[in-house]
């Protein structure tokens, strides 16, 4: 059940609480991505200490490795990875539809080949929901069709029709005890299709709603517009989730547009390249400018990396390919994303979100390197 606690008078931002059987989730919330039952470079203790309320896992990847037999024998995904807080599982639809030419869409799902060994596989609404039931996630996502960007309107129309039909099939499937199911709004860049998809999903009835098919190659202003196309047609009393987003600056702006939940691989993805997020944007720790910089990654940050190590030391670790280097940057970046969301919640509670939003935009400068990392991720997925 989603509890709407407060609405911001200056925007569409909301303060809320999503109750699950494994505890309440304070929203807006950022979910670290643990695609393969692990948030890259971080352990569960670190995630808990930095305030992670919920993490994300992936149906497609986990069903292939380690496979459902192993996870079932372990007693479900939570026990397998020893994570006792909520988990949201993606349906696997995005990974399947990213395979492009090596998949065939059928009436009740998609035929494709494993990215590991090329073996034939099939995934559809029934299969995806059964895997998520066995995983025992707290929030399961419906199996949808995510059209590429750009795509002809007729292709997006077909994707919306399938998404709605498959959502109804997902809704009818058995689920784990206490498991929520969220619908996913598709529709590309077309306002009428976003509206139609949202209204049809609401008519079916889900525990929450996600906006999918965003940040898949379109410019940032277009991404914001797609969210704005869908959000007004989603019920106020249900949680809203923008899938796969975004940078810290985007998170602030999307909260202002009425979104409650987010996930993104960026904190750990760019950390592996030596890029750190700060309140003023990102910078490359590997660069010579910090060779003799004995301050923390960011002054005032309370993460483990900033409390115990210097930029110069972390730069050294990265440049000699020591694993600890990428771990420390991953810790800092993940902590920073979670801290931004915690600050947003405080300002929403105190009625000062508008001022916070303005100050954040003034000082935060995104870099081309982060945008390129997102583009590289898309290219890598699509060529897998």
Query: Any idea which fold 2-265 has?
Result: TIM Barrel (3.20.20)
pLDDT digit string, tens, across residues 232-241: 999 999 999 9
Active-site position among 138, 207, 260, 263: 263
pLDDT digit string, tens, across residues 288-323: 999 999 999 999 999 999 999 999 999 999 999 999
* Active site (annotated) includes residue 90: yes
For residues 337 and 267, is the Cβ–Cβ distance under 8 A? yes
Active-site position among 90, 138, 207, 260: 90
- Beta strand 120-123 pairing with 180-185: unpaired
For residues 194 and 226, is the Cβ–Cβ distance under 8 A? yes
Distances (CA, A) of 261 to 204, 322, 376: 21, 34, 24
For residues 341 and 29, is the Cβ–Cβ distance under 8 A? yes
State the pLDDT confidence band at 381, using cuts at 50, 70 and 90: very low
Q: Look at the block and give the residue holding tokens 């919330």.
A: 29
* Model-wide pTM > 0.85: yes
- What is the C-alpha separation between 323 and 318, in angstroms, rounded? 8
Element (H, E) at 306: helix 304-308
Q: Where are the domains of the chain?
A: 2-265, 275-363
Q: Average per-residue pLDDT in the chain? A: 94
Half-sphere exposure of 246 (CA within 13 A, CB side): 25
Terminal-to-terminal C-alpha distance of the chain: 37
Rg (CA), the chain: 20
Tell me which residue of 155, 158, 148, 106 sits closest to 127, measured CA to CA. 106
Element (H, E) at 367: none
């Amino acid at each position: 059940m989603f509890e709407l606690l407060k609405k911001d008078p200056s925007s569409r931002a909301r303060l809320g609480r999503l109750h699950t059987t494994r505890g309440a989730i304070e929203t807006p919330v950022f979910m670290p991505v643990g695609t393969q039952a692990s948030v890259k470079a971080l352990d569960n203790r670190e995630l808990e200490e930095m305030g992670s309320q919920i993490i994300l896992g992936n149906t497609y990847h986990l069903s292939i490795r380690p496979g459902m037999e192993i996870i079932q024998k372990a007693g479900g995904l939570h026990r397998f990875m020893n994570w006792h807080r909520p988990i949201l599982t993606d349906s696997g639809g995005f990974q399947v539809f990213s395979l492009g030419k090596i998949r065939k869409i059928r009436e009740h799902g998609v035929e494709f080949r494993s990215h590991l060994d090329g073996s034939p596989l099939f995934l559809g609404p029934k299969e995806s929901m059964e895997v998520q039931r066995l995983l025992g996630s707290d929030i399961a996502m419906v199996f949808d069709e995510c059209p590429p960007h750009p795509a002809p309107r007729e292709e997006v129309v077909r994707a919306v029709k399938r998404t709605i039909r498959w959502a109804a099939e997902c809704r009818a499937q058995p689920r784990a005890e206490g498991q929520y199911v969220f619908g996913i709004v598709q529709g590309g860049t077309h306002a009428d299709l976003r509206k139609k998809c949202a209204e049809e999903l609401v008519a079916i009835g889900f525990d929450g709603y996600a906006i999918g098919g965003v940040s898949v190659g379109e410019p940032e202003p277009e991404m914001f517009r797609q969210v704005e196309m869908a959000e007004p047609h989603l019920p106020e009393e249900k949680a809203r989730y923008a899938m796969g987003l975004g940078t810290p600056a985007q998170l602030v702006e999307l909260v202002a547009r009425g979104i409650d939940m987010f996930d993104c691989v960026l904190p750990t993805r760019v950390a592996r390249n030596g890029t750190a997020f700060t309140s003023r944007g990102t910078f490359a720790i590997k660069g010579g400018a910090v060779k003799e910089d004995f301050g923390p990654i960011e002054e005032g940050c309370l993460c483990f990396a900033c409390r115990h190590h210097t930029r110069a030391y972390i730069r050294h670790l990265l440049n000699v390919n020591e694993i600890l280097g990428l771990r420390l940057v991953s810790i800092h970046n993940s902590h920073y994303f979670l801290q931004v969301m915690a600050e947003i919640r405080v300002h929403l509670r105190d009625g000062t979100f508008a001022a916070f939003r303005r100050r954040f935009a003034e000082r935060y400068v995104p870099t081309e390197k982060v945008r390129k990392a997102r583009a590289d991720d898309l290219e890598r997925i699509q060529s897998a």
